Structure 1
Amino acid sequence: MRRLRFMVFDRWGRYQQDLTGIAEATLSQEINSTDELDITVPVALSKGDHILWRDETWHEHVVNEQDQEHEGSQTMSYKCEGVHQWLRYDHIRLFVMTNVTAEEALTHILEQTTWEVGTVEDFGRHDLALSQTDTYKALLEIAGTWGCEIRPEITVSHGGVTKRAISLVHQRGESRGARFEYGRDIGGVEKSVLKDDVITACYGYGKTLDTETDGVKDRLWCFVEGTDEQKQRWGQPDGNGGIKHSVGMYEDANIEDADELEDATRAYMAQHSAPSVQYKVSDAMALQLRGVELGDVIQTIDREFIPELRLEARVGEMKRDVLTGDTKSATFGTIVSLLPDVLTRIYSQVTSVTPALTQAQIAANNAAQAAQEAEQKVTSIDQMLTTGALSIGGSVLSVVDGKIYLDGKELVVAE
C-alpha cells in the first residue's frame, strides 16, 4: 500500500486532522464530468469538509454524502466531489458576451468566486449567452462552446490550499508509454464501434463570400487528401480496377481564413480516417493500465481488424484505487465519451433561453417574451424526449427499436 497523506479541513479552510485507518479510497473521473472520491474511514466527517490529498498531483474533494455502519467498530463511507463542482453555489442571473475568447468568458464567470483563471489555450472566438444558471454549469457551457477540456489545479502550502484555478486545454493528460492489445481471444473487455464514415479525403467549407457563381453565393473552400496508405485501405473502387478516395465534408461558417480552414479540415479528416472505437476494461485487464491518468494517450493495437488497426486512444473515464494505485476500470478509445459532451450541449439548450444577443437586443426583449421563449424551449425538449430523439447542439441522439443512434449512425457494442 502506498504511503499517502489525507488532510481534512473544514469549509472555512481550518485544518482538522489527518485521516488514518483508511479502509478504501476510490477515485472516479471522467473528462468534463465526474470527479468523485469514495472513501471509507473510522472517523466522523461533516458535510462540506474538504479532503486534501496527493498522488501525482494535488486533489481536493468535498464531503457531500455519508453512509454509516456499525460492525463492531464504527465505519463510515463518504462520497466526495471535486472541489470545482461546488462552483454550483455561485449564481449567474444573466451573462452575454459576443465574439470573445474562452479566457475572456472564463474570467467573467469566475469574477464572483474564489477561483482564478489558470492556463487557457487558444480556441478562437465565439458568442455565449447564459441565463439563470450557476457557475459550474456555465463552466461546462464554455467547455462545450469552445471545445475545451477542464483541468482544475490546486496549489498547496504547509497551511493548506493557497490557490484554486481552472485551466482550459485542448487535451489533458500525456503519453506515458502505455500499450494495449485487443484480439479475438481476449476477455474482460467491451468494445464499441461507431458506424461512422471513414474518409481519406475531405472538402472543407468556411465563410460565405460576397461573390456568386450562377446565382449561388460562393463559399471559402479547400480540399485535403490523406496518405496513400489510408487511401489503399479505406478508399473506394474506381470502376477501372483502381482505388479512389472516400470523400467527406467539413464545414464551419465562422472560418474566414484559408489556412485556418485547411488546418481545421485536415484535423477533421484525421479524426475520421479510421473507424471510431472505444474499449472498456475492468478487473485484471484494467491492471495493465497502472499509472495511467485521465486523458492520457494509450498506444492501442486491435488485431480483430484485418490488417490490424493501430491507433492512439485516449482515457476518457477511469476508476482508480487510490491506496494501491491500481486502475480498477477504464474507458479509452477514439470515442472518448459521449456523456460529457451530451451533458454540456443539453445545458446549452436548457440554460440559454435567448440566443447570443447584443446588450441592446436583450433590452428590447421584455419579460413576457423571454418567458414564452423559455416555455417553448422546455416544450420542445419534452417533445424530443417523448418521441425518442433528442436534438443536442446540432447532433441527434435517438433510440429506435432498442438501438442507439448518434446522427443516424448506430452505436454497436460487442463483447
Structure 2
Amino acid sequence: MADLYIFDHYDNMLAILSNETNGSVENTPCPFWNAMFKEELNKGSALEFTVPANHVDAKYVTDENSAAFMDKDANFRLFFIRETFSDESDGKATITAVCEPAMMELYDEAIEDKRIIGKSAQEALTSALENTRWSVGTVASLGLNTVNFYYITVKDALEEILNTYGGEFVDRIEIDGNKITGRYIDILTRRGSDTGKRWEIDKDILSLQRTVQSYPKTALYGRGKSIETEDGGFTRKTTFRDVVWSKANGDPVDKPAGQEWVGDPEALEKYGYGQSGGGFRHRFGIYESGEDDDPETLLMNTWLALQQAKKQIVNYSLDGFLLDSVEGYEFEKSRLGDTNFVIDRNFSKPIEVEARVIVYEYDVANPDDVGKIQFGDFIDLYDSDRLLGDVVSKINDKEGIWDKAENPEINGDNLPDILPDVPTLEAFGLFETVLIRWSFQYDMFVSDYELYGSQTPNFIPDSSNLLFRGKTSGFVHSIETDQQWYYRVRGVNTHGHTSAFSSEANTQTVKINGNNDIQPLTITNQLIAQGVSADKITTGTLDAGKVNVIDINATNITTGILTGIEIVSDDGNGNIVQIKDGTLDAYRSNNKIASVNEFGFQVYSEIDGSLVGSIRDEVTVPSNDPGFALNSYKNFLALGFGTTGQTSKRVAYFDRNTRIGEIDGSTEELDNGELILRSTRSGGTAAGRIPKIHLRNFTDTATPPTRWSGVIIDTGRDNNPPGGTDERFGFEVWQYRGTGDGSSKQMMKLDTDSSGTYAGIYTDLAYLPQTRMRAGNNNYFWPSMNLVSQNIQNIHGVQHSSIIGYIDQFTITMDAGQSQTFNDYNFSGAENIFHVIAVPYNSNAVNFNVAVYNQSSTGFRVWMRYIPGTLGSSLTITIRLLILYETIR
C-alpha cells in the first residue's frame, strides 16, 4: 500500500491519497496514479501524480500545497505542488500535479556573509541552514575545511559545502500525527553501497540503452591570474609558456618551452582528428584559473583539468523489474548511489560494466513494479552556470580588496596554492583491522589527506570509495578477518587542489584460530621462524599463491585445506563439473545446466542457457523467519514424478502467464484419484474432527464404492463447546478485500448453534433467480424483496441493508372545537426510515384523514383532519402504522 499526504501552507495534513481505492465508493480515500518519482544523485528530485477531479479531496491538489510520501528507504520526502493541469477525456476528468522538492525553498533563503574556517562539514551545514525551516540531520565525518558564503542562496551554499567537503545529500522530513514536525538535510559519505546486484537481460532488464557523449579535449591552454604592475595596471594573464616538463625527469608528460598548452598523447591518439598527411590534430580547450599566478602551479592544474576533459561520458539506462520487494529476492535490492553490475551480451560489443546508479525513477503508486535506472558518469548540467557564477562572485566579492588589504588575515584563501607532496603509503594487516600510515607534510597550505580503499586491485579512487578525510598521518580501518584490501591516499591544499595519488598499498587482515592453533604465551617470533618448513606442514590452510609448489600428487593429500585452486572433471564430450572461487558449475554438451553459488542451487535451460529456477534458503519480511524456497524464473513451476529427458508426470503445476494453478492427487490413469487438504495432520483427541477438504470421485467406505463427481467438505468443532468469542466452527467463506494489510470480510457461514443449524449470508447482494423458499408448514413461498429508488435515497439516506416492515399503532385525541391536530411518533433502532403508511382505525375512522410528514430516522409527525368540519366533542382515534426501515449497522 502506498499513500500520498497532502499538506497546507502551515504543515497541516488536509487529505491522504491512496493507491488501493478507485474512489467510486463514498467516504473512501482519493485515489492517485502515474506518480513518477525521479531522483538524481546530488542534483535533486521531481514528482508528478494524477487524481480524479470529481473526488471531494481533489480540491486539495492545488498549487502551493505540498505532497509527501515514504520512499523505499523509509524516509518521508516532501514536494511543493508548483503546477496543475486539468484534463477531461473519455468522460473522465483528472488533475495532474507537477511538483518540485521542498528543499528548493532554500533558493529563496539568502546568506549575506559567513566564513567557515577550519571546521567540519556539520558546522558548515549548521551555519548555512541557520534561520531557515531546515535542520542538520546526519552528517558524515569529512574532515576540516574552509568555505565562504557571500551573498548567495542557502541552496548554493549547500552546493559549496558538497564541492568543498565531498559527500552526497538526502533531504527528508518527519511527520507526527497530522503535522510536519521536522525538515532535515543529511550529508553522507556516499549514497548507496557496493551491493553486487546484477542487472541482466532475461532476468530483470526489460530494455537497456547505452549512451556515449563524446566531446573530449586532448589538449588545454592554461590561463591564470592577471599580475598588477607598478602603475596600478595589469599584465596579461599568467601562462606556463616558459615552463618545461620532461617525462625523463618524472613529469607526467613532455612539454617544451614556448608552448602555451599541454596535451595528452594517449588522448590525442584515441580522440584526435586525423590528418591527410598522417598523425592526429589536437582537440583544444581553455582552462581558466583566476587564482593561479605561479606558472608551475598553473601547468599542474591545467594537466589535472585535462585528465577530466579528455574523458567520454558513458551512461547506461534501463527499464527493469524491482524485485527486492518480492519475498526471497531481497538480495536484488538496488538504490540510488549503489554500485551494480549491468550485463547484456546481446550487443556486438557486449555490455559488462560496473557502475553507480545516478538516476532512480519509479511509480510511487506502484513501487514494486518497473523502475527506470541510469548508470554511469555524472552529467553536470550546471557546470557552465556555476563557472560563470564563480567568476562574477570573484569580481564582485573582492573588488578593491584583492591584493591591497592591510594586515591580511592568514587563512586558506591567502596561503600559496602549492600542491602537497605525493604521500608515501603503508598498510599493515592486523586482526579485524588494518593500520594505514602515510608521510605527513607540516606546511600550512596542506589542508587534508583523503584516503580511498577497495577490495578490487588497481581501483579508481572516487567519492564512492572514500574512507577518510582529515589532517592526520594515519587511519585504522575496521573490517572482517581474512580480507584483502587496496589503498591510495592523496593530499589536498587549502584551495582544494590535490596532489597525485600515492602508489597502491595492499594488505590482508589475519585469520587466527585461537582455540586450536595458539596456546597463550607459548609462541614467540623466534620459535615461529625456526619451526616452519614445508615437510612439517601436515594440517591447516595452505595458500597456493604464497608458496612455491614443485611437485604434488593428489593421493598424498589426506588432510588440511587447499585454497586458490580450481577443480575440473571433464569427460571430453562437454559434460563438465567445475569447482572454482566457491562456486560449483555443471555443463552438459558444453551448455551450463546447474550451479551451486551464493544464490543457492540454480538450474539453467539446456536450450538457451538462461536461468530457469533455484532452490535456496529464504527469510520472511519483516520478521526474518528462516525457511526453504523453490523458485521458477520462467513460465511455470511444476512438481512431479520424473521420467526421461525434460518431461515429467506432473502432480502440481503453476503457470505465470495464464495464472492457472493445478494440484492432482495422482498421475496414474485410474478413476480413484484422491486429494486431501486439511488444516493439520493430527489434532490429538479431536483428530477425526479436523476440518478438511476431501476431493475424490468415489466413496471408499461403501461396497461397492459409490461414484461421485463433486466435492466432499468435512467440517468439525474439535473438542471445544461452542460459544467462545475466540472460537469459530462450521464452514465459513471469507474474501480478501484488497486493503493491503491482509484483512478480509466474511461472506458466508454454515454452522450449528443452540437453536439448531443455520446458514448466514453476509454479502451485499444475494441472487435468488426463480427461487421459492419452504416455510415451517412445508408450504413454498416466493421470497419478498425490496429496493428503494435513488430519489427516495436522496431524501431519506442510502440503503445499506434489507427493508424491515414494522406494524404498530398509537392514538391521537382531537378536542372539541378543533378541525385538525397532530401527534409525534418516536422510533429507535433505525439507520434510515424510508416510508410510513398511516391509516385511521376504529368506528369513526371514515370521518378522518391522516398524513405523515417531518420523517427522519428517529420518528415522524402524524397529522389528522376531521372531514365534516369542526368536532363537536373530544374524540380519540387509533392510528395503524406500517413503517419501512433498515436497522442501524
Scaled by the length of structure 2, what TM-score is found? 0.29
Cα deviation, 1:278-302, whole Å, max 9, x if unaligned, reads 2122xxx433677532222212347
| Aligned residue identity for 1:147 | G
Q: Read off the aligned partner of 2:176 and give its amino acid letter.
A: S
Matched AA of 2:374: T
Per the alignment, residue 841 of structure 2 pairs with none
Deviation of 1:98 after TM superposition, in Å, equals 3.1
Provide the aligned length of Structure 1 versus Structure 2. 298
Q: Deviations over 1:224-254 (max 9, x none)?
A: xxxxxxxxxxxxxxxxxxxxxxxxxxxxxxx
Residue 139 of structure 1 aligns to a residue whose secondary structure is helix
Deviates more, 1:298-307 or 1:14-23: 298-307
d(CA) in 2 for partners of 1:62 and 1:167? 20
Q: CA deviation at 1:79?
A: 0.9
Classify the secondary structure of the residue corresponding to 1:128.
strand
- State the match for 2:143 in structure 1: 124
Cα shift at 1:166: 0.8
**Cα separation, 1, equivalents of 2:315 and 2:374:** 7
How big is the shift at 1:100? Answer: 3.0
Deviation at 1:96, TM superposition (A): 2.9
In the alignment, structure 2 segments of 5+ residues that lack a partner are: 18-29, 53-57, 218-243, 245-249, 252-307, 325-332, 407-495, 498-889
Name the counterpart of 1:17: 15
Residue correspondence of structure 1 range 225-244 to structure 2 within 5 A: none
Higher fraction of helix: 1
Q: Secondary structure at the match of 1:339?
A: coil
The correspondence of residues 146-161 of structure 1 with structure 2, limited to 5 A, is: 146-161=165-180
Structure 2 residue identity aligned to 1:66: T
Q: Which residue of 1 aligns with 2:484?
A: none
Question: In the TM superposition, what whole-angstrom CA distance separates every residue of 1:35-72 from its partner, at most 9, and x where no partner exists?
Answer: 11101112132322121211422211111111122333
Contact between 1:88 and 1:134, CA under 8 Å: does it hold in 2?
A: yes
Amino acid paired to 2:10: W
- For residues 189-268 of structure 1, the aligned pairs below 5 Å read 189-192=209-212
- 1:130-157 superposed Cα distances (whole Å, 9 cap, x missing partner): 3332111221222122222111132222
- How far apart, in 2, do the equivalents of 1:21 and 1:309 lie? 40
Deviation per residue, 1:357-411 (Å, 9 max, x gap):
9x999988xxxxxxxxxxxxxxxxxxxxxxxxxxxx99xxxxxxxxxxxxxxxxx
Task: Trace 1:348-359 onto structure 2 (pairs within 5 A).
Answer: 348-351=390-393, 353=395
Q: Secondary structure at the match of 1:88?
A: helix
Aligned partner of 2:47 in structure 1 is 37
The correspondence for 2:381, drawn from 339, 343, 360, is: 339
> Per-residue deviation at 1:341?
6.3
Give the secondary-structure state (helix, strand or coil) at the position aligned to 1:292: coil
Answering whether residue 362 of structure 2 is matched by residue 320 of structure 1, we say: yes
Secondary structure (helix, strand or coil) at the match of 2:360 reads: strand
Q: State the SS of the aligned residue for 1:279.
A: strand
Give the match for residue 93 of structure 2. Answer: 74
Contact 1:37 1:61 in 2 (8 A): yes
Task: State the SS of the aligned residue for 1:294.
Answer: coil
Q: TM-score if structure 1 supplies the norm length? A: 0.58
Report the Cα offset of residue 110 of structure 1: 0.5
> Paired residue for 1:286?
320
Aligned residue type for 1:37: L
Deviation at 1:117, TM superposition (A): 0.9
1:78 offset after TM fit, Å? 0.9
Residue 187 (structure 2) pairs with residue 168 (structure 1): yes
Q: Which has the larger Rg?
A: 2
Once residues 404 and 107 of structure 2 are traced to their aligned partners in structure 1, the CA distance between those partners, rounded to angstroms, is: 25
The separation in 1 between residues aligned to 2:347 and 2:312, in whole angstroms, is 10
Moved more, 310-319 or 285-294: 285-294
Pick aligned residue for 2:158 from 124, 139, 143: 139
1:28 aligned onto 2:44: no
Q: Does residue 46 in structure 1 map to residue 62 in structure 2?
A: yes
The CA RMSD measured in Å over matched residues stands at 4.6
1:8 shift after superposition: 0.9
Structure 1 runs not aligned, ≥5 long: 198-215, 217-221, 224-270, 365-392, 395-415
For the residues of structure 2 that align with 1:147 and 1:74, how far apart are their CA atoms? 47
Flag the structure with more relative contact order, 1 or 2, with Cα contacts below 8 A and sequence separation at least 6. Answer: 1
Contact 2:46 2:101 in 1 (8 A): yes
Once residues 52 and 301 of structure 1 are traced to their aligned partners in structure 2, the CA distance between those partners, rounded to angstroms, is 35
Q: Is the 8 A contact 2:79 2:101 kept in 1?
A: yes
